Amino acid sequence: MLEEVTIHDLGVVKRATIPLGPGFTAVTGETGAGKTMVVTALQLLAGGRSDASRVRSGADRARVEARVRVPVQGTVSARVTELGGETEPLSAAEAEVILSRTVAASGRSRAWVGGATVPVRALADLGAQLVTVHGQSDQLRLRSPAAQREALDSYAGPEAAELLSRCRAEWEAAVQARDRVDRIGRADADRAEQEQRDRLELAELERIAPDPTEYDALTRTVAALQHREEIAEALAEVSRLLNGDEHGSGARDQLEGARAAAEGLRAYGSEFAALADQLAELGFGMEDVVTALGGARESQEPVGPEALEQAADRLAALDGLRRRYGDLSAAVARMRELRDEIDDLASSDERLAEARDAAREAAARLQTTCAALHRLRLEAGTRLETALEAELASLAMPTAHLQVRVTESEPSGNGGDVVEFLLSPHPGASAAPLAKAASGGELSRIMLALELNLAVRAPELCFVFDEVDSGVGGAVALEIGRRLQRLGTRVQVVAVTHLPQVAAFADRQISVVKRTDADVTASDVRVLDSVERVHEIARMLSGLADSETALAHARELLQTAAPGAPTRGD
């Protein structure tokens, strides 16, 4: 459950801390005040796409943060730990985790989970287990068969999710099997031509025999061979300075002389003995240096020009492979791929027959899984039709008939069905797809009816609605408010609304007010107390927050919406 959301420099909101809680929270305010920023903040925390234009003017970045209460033994806590984050224990059963997201004015976005920096994708995966956001774009998306299929599968529950997962895996296996049959079954001429090209490419790769680990060492070898004279001269100079020459002693002899002189002082105190010991240690180190120098000079024995030529040719060949394949590891992988392709292209009729058998088996497995998913969708569709019609009847669509049509189609990763919601708004009207039959207000009500039924299967989610009541009013708005209130008894609900009839049913109401001081415009976000709430509902009803008539109407509306109050007709 989301306990608190903090917003910094997002849109017109400079800073706001929004306490949330169980049940239904309504977010209200004048048009343009910034109500949608609350939804935007939750979308960002759920891993939604960042938009630099949402950063408040003059600010470097926008930041949103949420305190979330989660079960100690739940999947969310486990995932937080896996990501390197920490949870704060609240009790033996519950803990708190902090989610945070920033969006820079430059467009860069960063995310944190439990104090640990994580990829935005990880935040999105975690957020999907905590928050689901529905806006007007989601209502429009509900017109598409893909969204309708996803809604039906969600309603069908874990068994559908498991079958769908199998479908996707088996679809990929079937596609790969068909591709292999196509590759093996090419016409002989094409196959021979392709095989010849593959063999030439493989021969070139095998001739070079690239080793991904040799490139850097070979680069150094070529550089050393190209500068052998400078290296030899430098090593000779080092040897002269260490060992001396006919003109004088080197550092080695001078160090030995210094050590011998210090030895004579050993008897005069511990500090002199320590000095002699240190000089002796330097002497041992000097001998190691002389030994290493000897090895280095031996390695510089004269070699013929062919050594450099061979190393340079090898490096050029590797550079050619790097340019062609990207890197040497990719070239090695291409060698393996070519060998497999050549085996397939040169295969016998038996290999082709085996590939076809494997493809048929993969297709049969996919067909079996699709058939099981089809039966489950048909059964779930019948139940969903009944459940939705019951809800729609309470949402002023008593004569509407919603049909969930599941039609078998070609198998795919999403199963072998086309799912379509058909609506008949009133008796005598032909059933038609939602995209054609549903108005904006009807689509809002269908979306809400769906969520009321889907929420049963996801009690841990916070459901966020951005103007789900768009296009409705009057008695329908009352019923939407009542349904959101009822949904709030099972899950956490946050709804941005412009309708007083909906806001009245909320357990708490948050007001977003735009204020302009000098040339700076900002929005305040605060939870209303009972008196303030009456005035806000009055403003929503009439535009006059202090009108006695509107205030009386607001009090009546809040009393009607109070939990346990009788509905009209009771």
Instruction: Note the pLDDT of residue 301.
Output: 62
Same domain, residue pair 481 and 538: no
pLDDT of the residue at 140: 56
The residue among 403, 479, 390 whose CA lies nearest residue 441 is 479
Residues 40 and 79 placed together within one structural domain of the fold: yes
- Determine the pLDDT at residue 302: 63
Burial class (CB in 10 A: 0-12, 13-18, 19+), 264: exposed
Confidence band (pLDDT; 50, 70, 90) for 350? confident
Report the distance separating Cα 172 and Cα 183, nearest Å: 16
pTM (predicted TM-score): 0.59
CA angle, residues 184, 187, 191, in degrees to nearest 5: 60
Which pLDDT does position 347 carry in this prediction? Answer: 63
Verify that 134 and 260 share a domain, yes or no.
no
Q: For the chain, give the longest Cα–Cα distance.
A: 121
| 504 three-class SS | coil
pLDDT(166) > 90: yes
Cβ neighbours of residue 262 under 8 Å, at least 6 residues apart?
A: 272, 275, 276, 279
Spatial separation of the C-alpha atoms in residues 509 and 300, rounded to whole Å: 83
pLDDT at 520 over 60: no
* pLDDT value, residue 522: 61
Cα-based angle 33, 39, 42 (whole degrees, multiple of 5)? 140
pLDDT at 280: 87
Same domain, 114 and 220: no
Half-sphere exposure of 203 (CA within 13 A, CB side): 6
Q: Tell me, what's the pLDDT at 569?
A: 44
**Of 275, 305, 326, which one is at a domain's C-terminal end?**
326
Domain boundary among 311, 326, 341: 326
| Cβ-based neighbour number of residue 475 at 10 Å | 12
Q: Domain check: are 519 and 556 in the same one?
A: no
Between 498 and 379, the higher pLDDT residue: 379
Q: Which of 27-31, 142-146, 498-502 has the lowest mean pLDDT?
A: 142-146
Domain stop point among 304, 326, 348: 326
Q: Angle at Cα 505 formed by Cα 500 and Cα 508, nearest 5°? A: 95
The number of distinct structural domains making up the chain is: 3
Tell whether 512 and 543 lie within a shared domain: no
Considering the domain architecture, whether residues 514 and 537 belong to the same structural domain is answered as no
Percentage of the chain modeled with pLDDT above 70: 90
492 domain-assigned: yes
- Position 250 scores a pLDDT of 82
User: Residue 506 is part of a domain; what is its CATH number?
Assistant: 3.40.50.300
Same domain as 307, residue 266: yes
Q: In this structure, is residue 361 part of a structural domain?
A: no
Closest Cα to residue 468, out of 142, 131, 129, 5?
Answer: 142
Does 5 share its domain with 133? Answer: yes
165 part of a folded domain: no
Considering 169-178, 219-228, 245-254, the range whose residues carry the highest mean pLDDT is: 169-178
The pLDDT of 356-371, averaged and rounded, is: 94
Q: Where are the alpha helices (DSSP H) in 264-348?
A: 270-298, 305-325, 328-345
Give the confidence band of 357 by pLDDT, cuts at 50, 70, 90.
Answer: very high
**Residue 2 counted as domain residue:** yes
Strands (E), 475-567: 492-496, 508-517, 520-527
pLDDT surpassing 90 at residue 212 = no
If asked whether residues 469 and 549 sit together in one domain, one would say: no
304 has pLDDT over 70 = no
Looking at the fold, whether 464 and 540 belong to one and the same domain comes out as no
Q: Does 36 fall in a domain?
A: yes
Q: Which domain holds residue 546?
A: 529-563
**Non-local CB neighbours of 175 within 8 Å, separated by 6+ positions:** none
| Choice among 151-160, 459-468, 496-505 with the minimum mean pLDDT | 459-468
Q: Say what the pLDDT of residue 33 is.
A: 67
Instruction: Tell me the range of 207-216, 219-228, 229-238 where mean pLDDT is highest.
Output: 207-216
More confident residue, 379 or 286: 379
Q: What percent of the chain has pLDDT over 90?
A: 25
- C-alpha closest to that of 540 among 561, 516, 557, 523: 557
pLDDT at 565 (0 to 100) = 65
Looking at 36-40, 497-501, 520-524, 532-536, which range is the least confident one?
Answer: 520-524
Domain-embedded: residue 502: yes
> pLDDT band at 163, cuts 50/70/90?
very high
Residue 524 forms part of a structural domain? yes
pLDDT at 448: 78
Rounded to whole angstroms, the Cα distance separating 385 from 402 reads 6
b/e per residue, 121-137, with b = 16+ CB within 10 A? ebbeebbebbbbbbbbe
Surface-to-core class of residue 78, CB atoms within 10 Å of its CB (0-12 exposed, 13-18 middle, 19+ buried): middle
Ranking 32-36, 216-220, 290-294 by mean pLDDT, the lowest is: 32-36
Are residues 226 and 134 both part of a single domain?
no
82 inside domain: yes
Whole-number Å distance between alpha carbons of 539 and 30: 9
Cα angle: 372, vertex 378, 384; to 5 degrees? 130
pLDDT (0 to 100) of residue 1: 84
